[in-house]
Amino acid sequence: QVQLQESGPGLVKPSETLSVTCTVSGASISSYYWSWIRQPPGKGLEWIGYIYNSGSTIYNPSLRSRVTISVDTSKNQFSLSLSSVTAADTAVYFCARRLSGSYSERYFDYWGQGTLVTVSS
Amino acid sequence: DIQLTQSPSFLSASVGDRVTITCRASQGISSYLAWYQQKPGKAPKLLIYAASTLQSGVPSRFSGSGSGTEFTLTISSLQPEDFATYYCQQLNTYPLFGGGTKVEIK
């Protein structure tokens, strides 16, 4: 059974860097596309980026300048860093798995439960 | 950039009702669309992919149709556990989600 679990500090100060980690069990981090998706309170879903092939990345153009996604294959984990945060980055951050096949298969089939990160001084 | 517009944003329905949610893409995306259900405090759950393929384990009262720019998610007979928010997601290029449709009890 594939499981994803996010972890990270619940509170980050403005202008600092937000860091969240996703631990994957039941699937190899070296396969599939691993993604971060966020959801501000009461709002919709925003894709942040993918990591795949143990280190290749694709980012949402709107966040690209501030985002880094990295992977630790030895721990079967991947991480998100978002720099220069503001209150607008307050959201539940989800990690999710995407298959690596054709366009029809580029859905997210497994998700973590999400972790709320609040940006506040 | 492709835009996805869901309608309605909110709907009120009763148990047993047939419910239809629409997702319109600003340009053609073939059948590259998925639907998710999200309950409060939970992660989204995949319902349908490739516009009409039911994910394993999802009840058959859920169905999807459409291609190109217009897609629909239909719940044939609404059950109490179906009250949730539904999102479409285009599978072409970058992942993009619709704004969501909240289904509430009438």
- Each residue's pLDDT tens digit, B33-79: 999 999 999 999 999 999 999 999 999 999 999 999 999 999 999 99
Q: How many residues does chain B have?
A: 106
Q: Can you give the pLDDT at residue A103?
A: 82
Q: Can you give the pLDDT at residue B79?
A: 96
Is the pLDDT reported for residue B93 higher than 80? no
Query: Which own/partner pairs from B53-59 qualify as long-range (CB within 8 Å, at least 24 positions apart)?
Result: B53/A104, B55/A109
Chain A's closest residue to B51, CA to CA, is A104
- Which residue has 């990295």 as its token pair? A70
Residues from A in contact with B at Cβ < 8 Å: 35, 37, 44-47, 58, 60-61, 94, 96, 98, 103-109, 111-114
Q: Tell me what percent of the residues of chain A surpass a pLDDT of 70.
A: 100
Q: How confident is the model over A45-49, as a mean pLDDT?
A: 97
Cross-strand partners of B66: B71
Q: How confident is the model over A11-35, as a mean pLDDT?
A: 96
CA distances from B61 to B6, B19, B76, B77 (A): 20, 10, 5, 6
Q: Can you give the pLDDT at residue A53?
A: 85
Q: Can you give the pLDDT at residue B3?
A: 93
**Across the A/B interface, how many CB contacts are shorter than 8 Å?**
61
- How far apart are alpha carbons B103 and B68 in whole angstroms? 25
Q: Measured between CB atoms, does B89 come within 8 Å of chain A? A: yes
Is the pLDDT reported for residue B1 higher than 90? no
Q: Can you give the pLDDT at residue A54?
A: 83
**Rounded to 5 degrees, what are φ and ψ at A90?**
-65, 125
- Each residue's pLDDT tens digit, A65-117: 999 999 999 999 999 999 999 999 999 999 999 988 888 888 999 999 999 99
Is the pLDDT reported for residue B12 higher than 90? yes
Helix (H, G, I), strand (E, B) or coil at B28: coil
Write b or e for each residue in A101-121: b if 16 or more Cβ atoms lie within 10 A of its Cβ, otherwise e. Answer: eeebbbbbbbbbebbebebee
CA distances from A45 to A28, A35, B13, B87 (A): 25, 13, 24, 8
Label residue B92 by pLDDT band (50, 70, 90): confident
CB A120 within 8 A of CB A18: no
Q: Can you give the pLDDT at residue A14?
A: 97
Q: How confident is the model over A2-28, as a mean pLDDT?
A: 96
**A24/chain B closest Cα distance in angstroms:** 16
Q: Nearest Cα to B92, choosing from B48, B13, B29, B18?
A: B29
Q: How confident is the model over A33-39, as a mean pLDDT?
A: 97
* A37 contact residues in B (CB cutoff 8 A): 95
The mean of the pLDDT values for chain A is: 95
User: Residue B59 has which token pair?
Assistant: 């009840």
Q: Can you give the pLDDT at residue A100?
A: 81
Q: How confident is the model over B9-23, as a mean pLDDT?
A: 97
